[in-house]
Chains A and B, each alone.
Chain A
């Protein structure tokens, strides 16, 4: 399968099945150790034979970013290791924990389970993009978390905050039960759930008053 074909297959839909088939199709290292990436600048020219084909433009946090991406590279890896956006965390590599949650066209997705090629032409939002770029003013979700003192170790915080950001758009007036469901794709091992829920409710409240 050549690269153009593989990418078109990958763009069919965002299902995990497609994702896994895509990873296999593109010949990634099938290792139980988790999803990996190739493409260090230190590797030299040899692996860059197809560099021009791989050079794509991503829209991340409102900016156009040119980046060299392998066919099987995950979005979380591109963000963290190619674009310097380390706010997106890798907790499990396998869609089990939600620490890598980002928004694709406003919809929360696990960055570990999206191929970067899948998001070409789409808008990617990460934790780094929530503040006002000019003033540094925090988003309503971030303000709510500051007010309520959310999170303990906070390794899960970026993922939860992105999920909350989606939640207040989709359901601006949630009950605690609805908020709980909306955030149930994210894991907090410190189990600070009660406080996270309070943050989410406060975020919705702040969003309604804007």
Chain B
């Protein structure tokens, strides 16, 4: 019998390359005659370039050429071009210079004379909502494709309330109501009202988005850092307005993205266009300093929350207003945050209002658990506060409010394929030993106080309808062509496992093909929103099912008997007529041609899959199919996080002592990697809750916190030695494999377990702002207001 592949710890096939230095990330590629580009970044948050004199730079020895904004595709409205003469954040690339080495290019940048006209700017979105306040764009602060720019302001009445620390009643571009919140609040035994600030924070993957490009005739060879792969090729083609089949996209390894490199094509365009202009390979090495600006950030929220509870602790009404700090080019987090609040607390009565405000800060993008992580990290301690005030056990208040299988959420009453949040909570309670931990909550040891808390965090975890493509070659091996990216989740290998198992393969006979678009990929997902595990276990399962049918038919044709009487195991197919190796089957499939060798394709595969399949046709037995398994409802995964902290009341320093994360993500394919996702995401959430932020000089609109050490992600000494994870392990019933994604939900769980535990250590007080740096906590402990209630980007 072939080995079990689903549920086993198998190191991914690229690990050997990663640990020997052979793995090539984008900046590791070289090409003959390669030159270096450097960027001139805007020194102002909003400006217009009046004049550029590059003559001195261009005369420098070794300088090749300059690339200006008018030579790259321009974008109308609040959309980002790769170079611009109207920069909308400090650090936005204005132009690029290429030279034979990087230092010469940098010296040339310094030699460029450039004159800017400063324009009004906005760092804090509330300022742009104020009557008479500045806008991030010259033409306004709201944009619609139909009506263009407009000037959206709240009223003086709204701001009278805001300034008094009360919840305003403003109009917002996005608004939905379900149930009857007003009547429900009247019935609530407890109504909590809070104002909340959640900071913006940079993604900061370890690998900055350096990339290199050159052209051979009409063909662009792009060596890039991207989370996705097949879809990035199409996105880059769209950005450059060229035929996708003229791009050879090399994306073998990606040193992390966390949402900032879903496609990541903005910066990629620069070497591609520059290389075409000067007819030489161009390397654009992005430094950490530059990555800080061009590398994307999670949008910040300024939020008013009113939450009603019945006597038994059940949340019965939510009123939520979110002002989102969206940078110059927008983001969608706030919409998701409203949905997630409704899903996690099942109030039945909810009003949501939200406004996305353009600001002159570095661009925002989805960051792991976008919207969900922010709102969960803020609302979970408030839920626990309600438990405390109503005398309901804090674990029980999470459990009773968590959704069951029949949940309907959001304005359109969305449903879920499966939900086992309650099981995740129950398992976590046991693993963490919640009852014993609760007994030491509030215990003092000198100036240190122990706190415990829980964070329950959902997020989308799958999509459907992609294509799978694999081929069994005459060498008998199974080649799974994976158009998804290789960003560290191991999904290039793990999503092939159920398919390989279906075909009776041992893992040593499975080859994963990935990372270079010349190698042919089926239509794939973008690697985002935790879709990949579900989408591509399904698509590969469909393709393997197609391959299995063809193997049986080829065997029956060769050996006699009915196709259905043949079965596969360990590289052989056996039945009433005898046995054959799958290598022999592949040879016969090539001879038979037609659908067996991929010369005839299913009608329903995506148009993007067809040219890829044509590359492989005739080389073996092809399994190719669209995922037609269908399904109703949204696919969501969950993580229940449990944290214990010690807060030092003299210093404001929080030490995380223990953490347990339990996930509901369906079938577990790769336990060790799943544990790494639960911990990794949770720890990223802890960095969000504790340390990472932007801090701007409000007068000039430039950030102070712009490197690792000023906006520090968690290091080895920030995490507890005692980490545990678990999985509920109940397969999703609407899925052939039953697996759901896991990337997003742990971020909110880690952050919220921490914010809840810190509130617990402070006797139940919710600070309602992140990050909870020692100075913020000390101010709260000492009862001294640090700054106003709602400023964004101050610390």
Contacts and interface: CB of A to CB of B under 8 A. Distances in A.
Nearest to B64: A42
A66 to B, nearest CB: 19
A192 B679 contact: yes
B676 A192 contact: yes
B204 interface: yes
13 contacts: A33-B289, A42-B100, A43-B62, A87-B21, A89-B206, A96-B707, A149-B9, A152-B256, A153-B254, A180-B716, A191-B681, A192-B676, A194-B679
Contacts of B687: 191
A92 B683 contact: no
Contacts of B106: 29, 31, 33, 36
Given A149-B673, A191-B680, 20 more contacts: A28-B103, A36-B102, A38-B101, A40-B101, A43-B61, A86-B28, A91-B207, A96-B709, A127-B19, A145-B15, A146-B19, A153-B254, A154-B23, A157-B18, A158-B21, A161-B19, A180-B716, A187-B713, A190-B488, A195-B676
Interface-central residue, A33, A85, A181, by most chain B CB under 10 Å: A33
Interface residues of A, number: 69
Interface string B231-259: 00000000000000000000001111010
Given A96-B708, A158-B21, A38 B714 contact: no
A16 to B, nearest CB: 13
A176 interface: yes
B432 interface: no
A33 B290 contact: yes
Contacts of B365: none
Contacts of B25: 89, 155
Interface of B: 9-12, 15-16, 18-25, 27-28, 30, 33, 35-36, 38, 61-62, 100-104, 106-107, 109-110, 204-208, 253-256, 258, 285, 287-290, 487-490, 672-673, 675-676, 679-684, 687, 707-709, 713-717, 719, 721, 723
A22 to B, nearest CB: 16
B21 A86 contact: yes
B255 A155 contact: yes
B9 A152 contact: no
Interface-central residue, B20, B62, B204, B687, by most chain A CB under 10 Å: B20
B676 A153 contact: no
A156 B207 CA distance: 9
A187 B288 contact: no
Contact of A189 (B15, B35, B204): B204
B256 A153 contact: yes
A135 interface: no
A186 B716 contact: yes
A153 B487 contact: yes
B101 A193 contact: no
A190 B253 CA distance: 14
Contact of A152 (B30, B35, B489, B721): B489
A28 B24 CA distance: 29
A86 B20 CA distance: 10
Contact of A131 (B9, B20, B715): B20
Q: A interface, by DSSP: helix, strand, loop or mixed?
A: loop
Interface in A153-210: 153-158, 161, 176-177, 180-181, 183-184, 186-195, 197
Contact of A85 (B12, B18, B21, B684): B21
A158 B107 CA distance: 31
B679 A153 contact: no
A175 to B, nearest CB: 9
A60 interface: no
A157 B19 contact: yes
Nearest to B678: A194
A194 B289 contact: no
A10 B205 CA distance: 32
A34 interface: yes
A124 interface: no
Contacts of B10: 149
A90 to B, nearest CB: 7
Interface in A96-136: 96-97, 99, 126-128, 130-131
Contacts of A146: 11, 15-16, 19
A29 B101 CA distance: 12
A71 interface: no
A151 interface: yes
A87 B679 contact: no
B791 to A, nearest CB: 27
A4 interface: no
A46 interface: yes
Contacts of B109: 31
A30 to B, nearest CB: 9
A142 interface: yes
A170 B514 CA distance: 39
A36 B289 contact: no
Q: Which 6 pairs across A and B sit closest by C-beta, in order of nearness? A: A87-B21, A155-B255, A153-B488, A34-B287, A152-B488, A191-B683
A29 B290 contact: no
Given A43-B61, A92-B708, A193 B679 contact: yes
Interface-central residue, A80, A91, A94, A190, by most chain B CB under 10 Å: A190
Contacts of B18: 151, 154, 157
B680 to A, nearest CB: 4
Nearest to A198: B672
A155 to B, nearest CB: 3
Contact of B20 (A31, A130, A180): A130
Interface string A20-56: 0000000011011110111110110011000000000
B20 A128 contact: yes
B19 A154 contact: yes
Contacts of A37: 101-103
A189 B687 CA distance: 10
B715 A187 contact: yes
A65 to B, nearest CB: 16
B708 A187 contact: yes
A183 B716 contact: yes
Contacts of A32: 289
Interface-central residue, A151, A180, A194, by most chain B CB under 10 Å: A194
B708 A29 contact: no
A193 B489 CA distance: 15
A38 B106 CA distance: 10
Contact of B713 (A80, A154, A189): A189
Given A33-B290, A158-B21, A190-B256, A181 B676 contact: no
Contacts of A78: none
Contacts of A181: 716-717
A124 B216 CA distance: 38
Contacts of A145: 15, 19
Interface-central residue, A29, A85, A88, A146, by most chain B CB under 10 Å: A29
Contacts of A96: 288, 707-709
Contacts of B9: 149
Contacts of A155: 25, 205-207, 253, 255-256
Contacts of B205: 153, 155, 189
B587 to A, nearest CB: 33
Interface string A72-86: 000000001000111
Contacts of A131: 20
B206 A153 contact: yes
Interface-central residue, A40, A128, A153, by most chain B CB under 10 Å: A153
Contacts of B16: 146
Contacts of B19: 127, 138, 142, 145-146, 150-151, 154, 157-158, 161
A82 to B, nearest CB: 11
A162 B551 CA distance: 47
A176 B289 CA distance: 33
A94 B285 CA distance: 15
